[in-house]
């Protein structure tokens, strides 16, 4: 999970506001979270990769910051 701004090294892409996929509010790109989901190989036939954008409030409501920290820690342990 990264903000759109962070994805482009803080250069700030020239993009119009986008809607949060959960609450439909318009959000400036620098405040959007990019949520990417990749199914495990065993489910790749049934599900495709997905990418959505959400606002900070919805990211907090989904507790993504905690998930992200746990995921980062697990990757470090590999």
pTM of the predicted structure, to 2 decimals: 0.57
Domain coordinates of the chain in residue numbers? 2-77
Q: For residue 6, is pLDDT > 70?
A: no
**What's the pLDDT tens digit per position in 40-49?**
999 999 999 9
The pLDDT tens digits of the residues spanning 49-74 come to 999 999 999 998 888 776 666 666 77
Tell me what the mean pLDDT of segment 7-18 comes to.
Answer: 57
Burial class (CB in 10 A: 0-12, 13-18, 19+), 22: middle
Beta carbons of 29 and 13 less than 8 angstroms apart: yes
- Which residues make Cβ contacts (< 8 Å) with residue 67, sequence separation at least 6? 1
In angstroms, how far is the first alpha carbon of the chain from the final one? Answer: 19
């Amino acid at each position: 999970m990264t903000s759109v701004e962070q994805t482009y090294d803080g250069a700030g892409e020239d993009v119009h506001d986008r809607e949060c996929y959960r609450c439909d509010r318009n959000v400036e790109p620098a405040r959007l979270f990019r949520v990417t989901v990749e199914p495990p190989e065993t489910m790749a036939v049934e599900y495709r990769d997905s990418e959505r954008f959400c606002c900070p409030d919805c990211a907090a409501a989904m507790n993504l910051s905690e998930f992200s920290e746990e995921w980062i820690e697990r990757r470090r342990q590999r």
